[in-house]
Amino acid sequence: MASAWFQARAASAGRPSLLADSLAEIFKGDEIPDLGDTQAELRLAVDMTIDNYADADMAIAVPALAADLARSPELLARFRETFLLRKRDNIAVALLRGIDRGDLPATLDTGLVQDLWAGTILYRRLLSGSPLDDELAERLVQLVFDASATLSA
């Protein structure tokens, strides 16, 4: 995955929109299917996020991506449009289904949940070296259920 990022970066030099479109193809942001099971759906969401950063080379590519995004407001806006907001919307839909089922409180801050998941995963990939494994995925999902009152807006 990281090599795909660097290839896209080189091929789109000076064309931020092309780079952002390439990134949207590299990173997963798929819809979470309605499985009728909030826990299973949230696990798919966490697994998708982990998969985006699981490749060891992503520890090299993600800081380069962050630097590029910080230097180019156009690239940042396009990246948000083509990937980040779509991914967040898809995960929010799964969280909202959990709210509709009564599994999660109506006041749940879906953005904060996603920030906690992504922040934990990125921190582990980039800094701590802690594993991105099934145990982590289960704990991140369970956190939503156990701390749902704290995660409310």
Q: What CATH number should be reported for the domain holding residue 68?
A: 1.10.357.10
pLDDT confidence of residue 79: 82
pLDDT confidence of residue 74: 85
pLDDT confidence of residue 4: 57
* Three-state SS sequence of the chain: CHHHHHHHHHHCCCCHHHHHHHHHHHCCCCCCCCCCCHHHHHHHHHHHHHHHHCCCCHHHHHHHHHHHHHHCHHHHHHHHHHHHHHHHHHHHHHHHHHHHHCCCCCCECHHHHHHHHHHHHHHHHHHHCCCCCHHHHHHHHHHHHHCCCCCEC
70 in any annotated domain: yes
pLDDT confidence of residue 43: 98
pLDDT tens-digit series, residues 75-119: 888 888 878 888 899 999 999 999 999 999 999 999 999 999 999
Range of the domain at 95: 2-27+36-146
- Structural domain count of the chain: 1
Is a pLDDT exceeding 70 seen at residue 6? Answer: no
